[in-house]
Amino acid sequence: MRVGILISGRGSNMVSIAEACASPGFPASVGVVISDSPVAAGLDRAASMGLSTAVVEPGEHADRTAFERKLSEILSAHDCELVCLAGFMRILTSEFLADFPGRVLNIHPSLLPSFPGLDVQRKAIEHGVRFSGCTVHFVTAEMDAGPIVLQAAVPVESGDDPSILAARILEQEHRIYPEAVRLMAEGRLQIEGRAVQISP
């Protein structure tokens, strides 16, 4: 299964997926890495791994529909059947999602449905939760609300600041996102209502 990865910044999750894809026997490969910003550090990282890259800037398109159409076009041109959002800082509309039904994944740095949205490591610390973590979920038009594929929990330690907690969570992101891609590529994920069944 070919995977298109959408990024906006650093791209560490993109690298973790690409590294998994490069390992022997992994059932997926990276078709293209697309950034919505020409200065995303992840673009250089992708290029240095020999991956195809593209930049699609919203500002260079008449409207959101045209922007999303371009994304779709590039993903299809690279035969991508799965789209992984990896630090992609835009909400995709149901028109885009309809091009890849049940085939768009995202990673979010909290245990959803707790703490959707932005700056969630700070919110978790301020709320006083003892555990946080990360979630790979299917993308729906509602932000951070789609069916959950995999989660990993990490403790929130006293004295944590958002960057320390983010680093602890990121380590788990890099483990579960490639695993979710593998499950998807092996055809083992079945969405049933709001839940995802994983077949053995």
Nearest Cα to Cα of residue 140 among 108, 184, 96, 177? 96
CB 117 within 8 A of CB 143: yes
Q: Is-catalytic flag, 108?
A: yes
Minimum CB distance to ligand GRF smaller for 9 or for 147: 9
Cα 82 from Cα 185, distance rounded (Å): 8
Minimum CB distance to ligand GRF smaller for 9 or for 146: 9
Binding range to ligand GRF, per CB under 6 A, among 19-27, 94-102, 106-114, 148-156: 106-114
Residue 144 binds to ligand GRF (criterion: CB under 6 A): no
Cβ atoms within 10 A of the Cβ of 6, count? 24
Q: By Cβ distance, which residue is nearest to ligand GRF? A: 87
Q: Read out DSSP for 29-91?
A: EEEEEEESSTT-HHHHHHHHTT--EEE--GGGSSSHHHHHHHHHHHHHHTT-SEEEESS--SP
Residue 13 binds to ligand GRF (criterion: CB under 6 A): yes
Residue 178 binds to ligand GRF (criterion: CB under 6 A): no
Minimum CB distance to ligand GRF smaller for 42 or for 147: 42
Binder among 4, 31, 87, 146 for ligand GRF (CB under 6 A): 87
Between β-strands 2-7 and 29-35, what pairing exists: parallel, antiparallel or unpaired? parallel
Query: Which spans of this chain sit near ligand GRF (rule: CB under 6 A)?
Result: 7, 9-13, 42, 86-87, 107-109, 134, 170, 173
Residues designated as active site: 108
